[in-house]
Amino acid sequence: MNTFDVIETDRGLIKMWTRGVPVEDGAKTQLKNIADLPFVHSHVAAMPDVHFGRGATVGSVIATKGAIIPAAVGVDIGCGMMAVETTLTADQLPDSLATMRSAIEKTVPHGNGRGGNWGTVPDRATNRFRESGLGHALDDLRSKHRWLEKAKSLEQLGTLGGGNHFLEVCLDEADRVWVMLHSGSRGIGNLIGRSFIEMARRSIEKRFLDHYLPDKDLSYFVEGEDDLFDEYVEAVGWAQEFARMNREIMMERTLHVMRGLLPPFKTAKTAINCHHNYVEREHHFGDNVWVTRKGAVRAREGDLGIIPGSMGERSFIVRGKGNPHAFQSCSHGAGRVMSRTEAKRRFSVEDHVQATEGVECRKDASVIDETPAAYKDIDAVMAAQADLVEVVHTLKQVLCVKG
């Protein structure tokens, strides 16, 4: 049984997996704006974590024919999740996890300031960057886009960033230890995203099409008519691979720290490493289309994915059901229920301490905007997408590093 509702717009459709979870009016307006665009294929799919974003909502899946909207990918290109199961069990963890949190924080740069970058880039990161071909590909991109010359790349490869990015040690339903993290393409991906959003706006204005758009942030590139279309696909593809490698390096360094502090352990042969801000060519409803997932995870039948809760709530390892109505997708998390400013106004440090009881994490004013109550109820979010994924493992963090 499908669990989505259908909203008809002037020219299109929205299928919403939001039963039992709040959706603000601004997000609904954005969804309608997108659904009415002439190149949207079939409908727009809204995930249960959907909320207001720049131009396009976070938590939406948009299939398009012959066009791509850079703002529908966003500025945190390639942002996603990675999780690894270990052979460790809860009884092998120390009573106090403060030492391990401190060691991880010293090993994985985190935050948006100067301390969030490498002072000296580790050889492992440099070698991976070069051997993968990302270094040569970046040189090619910089030859076309001089504004990329000053962008940080290696300085941030293997770093967490800030905001809602995190690194956690978790326990599953059998008390097995997992390591899970959330990050993306860092500063260089942000620069690529912001720059192409602006270039799309200028391109639309030159064609005198901007007055047809309900929101200028929905400006787009036309396939086959605009050289910037191919350049954007190339740049965003590079950022997606950079983001994937970024997560891999952080995971390696975190596991190395844990091996120095805990009994010997092994990890699963296959880790889950999935994007939730990206665009790819796919086939849906009889056509080859560009699918943009902004705050959504691909969930083809059998695909493993990760849906995290907030820093005090449960997270889920899921297996996709391949629901065609959702373009084989699911939510990327709980989704914010209020802005960061509102969370800081409404909640105190004491509220945050209570909400994160039992988790070794920062409990100060600088992380109030990430407190669990700023997010939707993860159980309601999971219930709303029961026809998109099945739960394989339920994780509860015991240690959380925030940017």
* Closest of 106, 97, 14 to residue 63, by C-alpha: 14
Burial of 208: CB neighbours in 10 Å, binned 0-12, 13-18, 19+ = exposed
How far is 11 from 50, CA to CA, in rounded Å?
Answer: 21
Q: Give, to the nearest 10 degrees, the angle between helix 227-261 and helix 123-131.
A: 140
Q: Is 123 exposed, middle or buried (0-12, 13-18, 19+ CB in 10 A)?
A: exposed
Got the DSSP string for 217-265? Answer: GG--EETTT-HHHHHHHHHHHHHHHHHHHHHHHHHHHHHHHHHHHSS--
| Residue 117, both tokens | 């970058």
First to last CA, the chain: 40
Which residues are CB-contacts of 4 (< 8 A; sequence separation ≥ 6)?
Answer: 15, 16, 17, 19, 45, 325, 326, 387
User: Which residue has tokens 């009994």?
Assistant: 263
With tokens 């690529």, the residue in question is 192
Helices (H), 21-113: 25-35, 70-73, 98-107
Question: CA torsion, points 293, 50, 161, 156, in degrees to nearest 10?
Answer: 10
Q: Is 112 exposed, middle or buried (0-12, 13-18, 19+ CB in 10 A)?
A: middle
Known catalytic residue at 256: no
Q: How far apart, in whole angstroms, are the C-alpha atoms of residue 196 and residue 219?
A: 10
Which candidate in 51, 110, 325, 332 is catalytic?
A: 332
Distances (CA, A) of 213 to 26, 37, 209, 228: 16, 8, 7, 19
Report yes or no: 211 and 102 within 8 Å, Cβ to Cβ: no
Active site residues: 332
